[in-house]
Amino acid sequence: MGSSQSRDFDTSKLNSFWTVIGLSHDPIDTFVEMWYHVFLWSLFSSIIIHMLASGIAFGSLRKHKTLRFGSILVLISGVVTPLTAYSITSAAVAGAHRAASFQMYPLYAMFWGCGQTLVTLILSFTRVLATL
């Protein structure tokens, strides 16, 4: 039990950002690697979506006196949300995969990470949470 758990939380073998984005074909076995891959994909996709939204907001509000800088808040929320909420949900996904002894392939991690951003995007546009 002890050697398996210590191997699960060994952070010395984590891949770089570019290796994660490159989608290698090696399966991911440990909890930390699973969490790291899913988290980086959710962070990357969220930043891309928020950069696009921030650019649109800045372009639309460029002549407004004070709100032209409101797009910076959109960009900040694109980083803060993944650092808080997505890190927790990425840990839940990695924990479920690890508890079931499933190997996670990097493509699955990409689907889980981008899926988190997609669900957040859908809920933001539909305003389902405002009706609850």
Domain layout of the chain by residue ranges: 25-131
pLDDT score of 1? 47
pTM for the predicted model, two decimal places: 0.78
Max Cα distance, the chain (Å): 62
86-126 pLDDT per residue, tens: 999 999 999 999 888 888 888 898 899 999 999 988 888 88
Q: Which residue has the higher pLDDT, 20 or 91?
A: 91
Task: Please compute the mean of the pLDDT values over residues 70-77 and round it to a whole number.
Answer: 85
Task: Please compute the mean of the pLDDT values over residues 34-60 and round it to a whole number.
Answer: 89
pLDDT score of 4? 53
Q: What is the mean pLDDT of the chain?
A: 81
pLDDT band for position 6 (cuts 50, 70, 90): low
- Residue 78 pLDDT > 70: yes
102/93 Cα distance (integer angstroms): 11
Contacts of 77 (CB under 8 A, 6+ apart): 50
Nearest to 60 by CA among 51, 70, 50, 75: 70
| Main-chain dihedrals φ then ψ at residue 65, nearest 5 degrees | -65, -50
pLDDT score of 58? 86
Identify the weakest region by mean pLDDT among 29-38, 42-51, 114-123.
29-38
pLDDT score of 36? 86
Cβ-based burial of 15 (10 A; exposed 0-12, middle 13-18, buried ≥19): middle
Taken in order 73, 74, 78, 80, is the CA torsion positive or negative?
positive
pLDDT score of 116? 93
Angle between helices 71-81 and 31-60 (to 10 degrees): 170
Both tokens of 114, joined, read 């981008």
